[in-house]
Amino acid sequence: VIMDNNLKHLCEYFKGCRIIGIETSEQKKRIENVLPVIDRLLDEGADRGAFILGVGGGITTDIAGFVASVYKRGVRFAFLPTTLLAQADASIGGKNGVNFESYKNIIGTINQPEWVYICAEVLRSLPAPLFRAGAAEVLKTFVLFDREAYDEAAGYFAELNDFFNKKGTLCNGAGIYGEERLQQLISKCAMYKSGVVERDTYERGERRLLNLGHTFAHAIEKVCADAGRYAPIMHGEAVSIGMVLAAKVAARLHGLSNGFAERLKTDLGRAGLPVEVPCGLKDGAPIAMEMLLDALKKDKKVSGGAIHFILPDAPQQVTDKLIPFNELEEICRDLR
């Protein structure tokens, strides 16, 4: 069992299993921090018949899936995701990646787990910021595939955030506020994503849609990794900002108003998520668009001086467009 060190209280449920605890942060999700896990597997005598279970959030499942995919050219593995982001998105689809320097998921594999066990009950002890980060991925999925589910999810996460602000907890005694509604939303997310992955495992077409919000998000995460200059940002928070920026780019390119971008800002903001580009800790100035563009040029989706962007005009009205950087620079000149 490869497990997030923050989940040691779950060890009693895995009696008889050998447990490898790992630190979980984007700074720790690096190739050099994967090697000690492989050393431990060798020390434990794990052979090609080994079965690896990743227990934790998206970083844990990324590392567990990557290790299982490369150890002795591949061993069996599965996931028990314990965050909303991992249940709705990260643990589904077979992408197993680690970071190199400040570039996200630049080293990795596409290899499917044998199973993923998803249960809303394990989210009851999840800190509110991590829960909100997962809400961004849920809303992203429904922007792509389901207008009615988007409306339901936006309303639910707004209610949940209001409940937390009043009570200081996500739980109402019997479980998470609206837990049955949450389980249904997670199940729909899993259904949509697994369907896309089945049709386009290696991201040649339809699967690229799942990158909605992630192009700007990865650039924001890269810039915010500059310790001391910007506050750390969670992946889901960056995706929230990235979706709003992508909607603004869509409006510029398609000659539309910023109506959907403003709706996204409202819905994400009511869910407790950030919707503006982060500001510096010392100068209070927003990240310069030039810095984000520089990071975008090093994105793995770059192709021949252009980059793939997923552009939302409205729920279920999304296009995949390859935008040349000179055109993107013009669009983003006064984008905030």
**Alpha helices, H only, the chain:** 31-43, 58-70, 84-85, 128-145, 147-167, 179-199, 214-224, 235-254, 259-270, 289-296, 325-332
Distance CA 256, CA 216 (A): 20
Phi/psi-derived region of residue 105, left when phi > 0, alpha when psi is between -120 and 50, beta in every other case: left
Distance CA 43, CA 25 (A): 25
Catalytic residue among 140, 207, 222, 265: 207
218 flagged as catalytic = yes
What percent of the chain is predicted at pLDDT more than 90?
85
The domain segmentation of the chain, as residue ranges, is 2-118, 128-206, 208-332
73 flagged as catalytic = yes
> Are both 2-118 and 208-332 of the same fold?
no
Catalytic residue among 104, 188, 218, 265: 218
- Residue 12 burial by CB count (10 A; 0-12/13-18/19+): exposed, middle or buried? exposed
pLDDT in tens, 185-219: 999 999 999 999 999 999 999 999 999 999 999 99
Catalytic residue among 96, 99, 161, 211: 211
Catalytic residue among 29, 95, 104, 140: 95
User: What pLDDT shows up at residue 26?
Assistant: 86
Catalytic residue among 104, 214, 248, 265: 214
Stretch 307-321: mean pLDDT: 95
Stretch 248-273: mean pLDDT: 94
User: What pLDDT shows up at residue 97?
Assistant: 94
95 flagged as catalytic = yes
Which residues touch 52 (CB under 8 Å, ≥6 apart)?
1, 2, 64, 67, 68, 71, 75, 76, 77, 78
211 flagged as catalytic = yes
**DSSP assignments along 266-291, one per residue:** HHHHHTT---S--BBTTT-PBPPHHH
| pLDDT grade for 61, boundaries at 50, 70 and 90 | very high
Catalytic residue among 29, 193, 222, 248: 193
137 flagged as catalytic = yes
pTM (2 decimals)? 0.94
| pLDDT grade for 227, boundaries at 50, 70 and 90 | low
Stretch 245-274: mean pLDDT: 95
Residue with tokens 């962007």: 309
Could you tell me which CATH number the domain at 2-118 has? 3.40.50.1970
Contact present, 286 and 332 (Cβ < 8 Å): no
Distance CA 275, CA 243 (A): 9
Catalytic residue among 137, 221, 237, 248: 137
User: What pLDDT shows up at residue 335?
Assistant: 78
Catalytic residue among 235, 237, 248, 265: 235
b/e code 100-133 from CB counts within 10 Å (16+ = b): eebbbbeebebbbbeebebebebbeebeeebbbb
Q: Write out the two tokens for 96.
A: 């197993």
| pLDDT grade for 235, boundaries at 50, 70 and 90 | very high
214 flagged as catalytic = yes
Distance CA 64, CA 52 (A): 7
Strand partners, 287: none
User: What pLDDT shows up at residue 185?
Assistant: 98
CATH superfamily label, 208-332: Dehydroquinate synthase-like - alpha domain (1.20.1090.10)
User: What pLDDT shows up at residue 17?
Assistant: 95
Contact present, 335 and 289 (Cβ < 8 Å): yes
**Mean pLDDT, the chain, whole residue set:** 94
Q: When comparing pLDDT for 304 and 64, which is higher?
A: 64
